[in-house]
Structure 1
Amino acid sequence: MKITDLLLTNPDARPRRQITPKGVVLHWVANPGTTARNNRDYFQNGVSAAKQNWASAHYVVDDKEIIRCIPETEMAYHVGATSYNKTALQRFATSYPNDCLIGIELCHADWDGHFGKGTWAQAVELVADILRRWQLPVTAIVRHYDITGKECPRLMVRDPAVFAAFKADVERILHPPAPARKPGPAPDVPADHFAAAAVAWAYQHKISAGTDAAKHFAPDRPITRAEMIVLLKRTYDLLKGGESQ
């Protein structure tokens, strides 16, 4: 993941107030077909107190770039409103969410808010990295909608399954599923088990047939005296050249 630093200098977009992040807010740029640089430049050149359009975000992501506009430890103007979701305020223990949330603007192709594959992949990787560094759970990912009720990001608001899929992709990066282990001679003895070859040999020569119909070997269960004597007899019969009984 490559991040390009194009930090804002416009004081109406970057107030330079210090924050400690408690979560990540996803946005759409609401300007189809524009790039990360286009939207970063809007924060730099188009935002002014005179116009009363204070706006900014920490990152803007498109199919090709991730642009950092404001350091994560500084406030950005991305979830300001006249009223907020009370549950969200309680969740992040704040009365002004800008003072503790990292804002990420996502570029999109159309007014339905569809994201390109590159935008999605880069945003997933970026958010996972932020959560890892700040030791935050996946539940700390929210939509602008969750904070203020605004339809943003539109696609994730109109189709909550898209938002769920995004969080699931982040979760897979943070906690990847364990790779499937190659089957071994018994359901509970995978191929990479230190005793796999010995168990296979024992099954092949009928020294052991497992502990049940599914042929589980129970490799960590202590052996009983009765089982020991049976195994010894079967091994003895095998060494004599006969078939073990």
Structure 2
Amino acid sequence: MVTIRKKLVPDAQANKVTYGKGNSKKYIVVHETDNTRSGADADAHARLQANGNSRSASWHYTVDGKEAVQSFEHAWRCWAAGSNKGNNEGIQVEICVNADGNYLKAVQNTAELVAKIMKDEGIPISNVVQHNHFSGKNCPRNMREGKISWSQFITMVKNASGNTQQPKPSTDDDKYRVLTGTYSTKQAAENVQDVLKHRFGWVAYIEPDGDKYRVKTGTFTGMDAAQAGANKIKTAKLAQVTNIVAE
């Protein structure tokens, strides 16, 4: 079963980018992010929403090859489907298409998530629809172009319907930060900070270390999340060395 993690948008921010609560939850609307940049995974999109998305858009879940991250409870009427009916009656699910991700696994994880939502909310599979259903937009684009066909996806959802138990949540509530190795110039540190903030959607700070500089992230809850953050920094080749420090 796909790991589902919550990083909910605060109500004050949610009220700026939704129609408020009252979603009738009749549909599950499947989208793709269309963001192919490396690092544009579920965590990055969830952090973007939590930190205050400047776009007039919002969605309930983002899914990649590792996890599904929930940004809004189902009651919120998010701005994603391109029509009032789709927004007021739909639970919006975005599939990541980042170049450094695993699209097939992301689609499989989305199928498992959709099966769980169907069970939780009593939504029939006939009401699992594409973004295109409500707005005519070519979304989810890769699926519509046959990279994985819509019929294959629906079959995945049906196959996942018998395995929708939610995994046990982590009990590690401690807070951690990731600290990079040193950079010889402040500009180099600022370049890394810019990627962490604007591509990954993270909070990040620059700290002097003698005549050099380090970049420190905002807090992660749990060692697993912090380790995943450190690995992501290394995979993006932003730092050769990272350290995880407790708050």
Indicate the TM-score class for this superposition, using the shorter chain for normalisation. Answer: 0.5 to 0.7
1:74 match: 76
**Could you tell me whether the CA contact under 8 Å between 1:13 and 1:54 is conserved in 2?**
yes
- How far apart, in 2, do the equivalents of 1:138 and 1:5 lie? 24
**Could you tell me whether the CA contact under 8 Å between 2:112 and 2:161 is conserved in 1?**
no
Are 2:82 and 1:104 equivalent residues in the alignment? no
**Could you tell me whether the CA contact under 8 Å between 1:21 and 1:72 is conserved in 2?**
yes
Are 2:137 and 1:131 equivalent residues in the alignment? no
**What letter is aligned with 1:62?**
D
Are 2:17 and 1:30 equivalent residues in the alignment? no
**Could you tell me whether the CA contact under 8 Å between 1:43 and 1:55 is conserved in 2?**
no
Q: Deviations over 1:15-38 (max 9, x none)?
A: 532212111111111111311121
Return the offset for 1:43: 2.4
Query: Structure 1-normalised TM-score?
Result: 0.58
**What letter is aligned with 1:5?**
K
- How far apart, in 2, do the equivalents of 1:166 and 1:158 lie? 13
- How far apart, in 1, do the equivalents of 2:74 and 2:4 lie? 13
Give the counterpart of 1:57 among 42, 52, 59.
Answer: 59
Q: Please list, as runs of the form range in 1=range in 2, the aligned pairs for 1:171-190 lying within 5 A after superposition.
A: 171-174=158-161
2:230 match: none
Give the counterpart of 1:41 among 28, 47, 58.
Answer: 47
Return the offset for 1:140: 1.0
Which 10-residue stretch deviates more, 38-47 or 143-152?
Answer: 38-47
Aligned CA-pair RMSD: 2.3
Give the counterpart of 1:141 among 128, 136, 145.
Answer: 128
2:191 match: none
Bigger RCO of structures 1 and 2 (CA < 8 A, at least 6 apart): 2
- How far apart, in 2, do the equivalents of 1:119 and 1:137 lie? 22
- How far apart, in 2, do the equivalents of 1:63 and 1:175 lie? 20
Q: Structure 1 residues 14, 146: closer, same or farther in 2, change over 3 A? A: closer
Q: Please list, as runs of the form range in 1=range in 2, the aligned pairs for 1:85-234 lying within 5 A after superposition.
A: 96-110=85-99, 116-159=103-146, 162-174=149-161
- How far apart, in 1, do the equivalents of 2:67 and 2:162 lie? 25
**What letter is aligned with 2:42?**
A
**Could you tell me whether the CA contact under 8 Å between 2:23 and 2:76 is conserved in 1?**
yes
Q: Structure 1 residues 161, 116: closer, same or farther in 2, change over 3 A? A: closer
Identity of aligned residues (%): 25
**Could you tell me whether the CA contact under 8 Å between 2:63 and 2:69 is conserved in 1?**
yes
Return the offset for 1:172: 1.9
**Residue 74 of structure 2: SS of its match in structure 1?**
coil
Q: Which has the higher strand share?
A: 2
5+ residue gaps, structure 2, are 164-247
- How far apart, in 1, do the equivalents of 2:48 and 2:86 lie? 22
Q: Deviations over 1:54-98 (max 9, x none)?
A: 1111100011121000001221111135xxxxxxxxxxxxx5321
Return the offset for 1:136: 2.1
- How far apart, in 2, do the equivalents of 1:73 and 1:109 lie? 28
Query: Structure 2-normalised TM-score?
Result: 0.57
- How far apart, in 1, do the equivalents of 2:50 and 2:162 lie? 37
In our comparison, the structure showing a higher alpha carbon Rg is: 1
**Residue 75 of structure 1: SS of its match in structure 2?**
strand
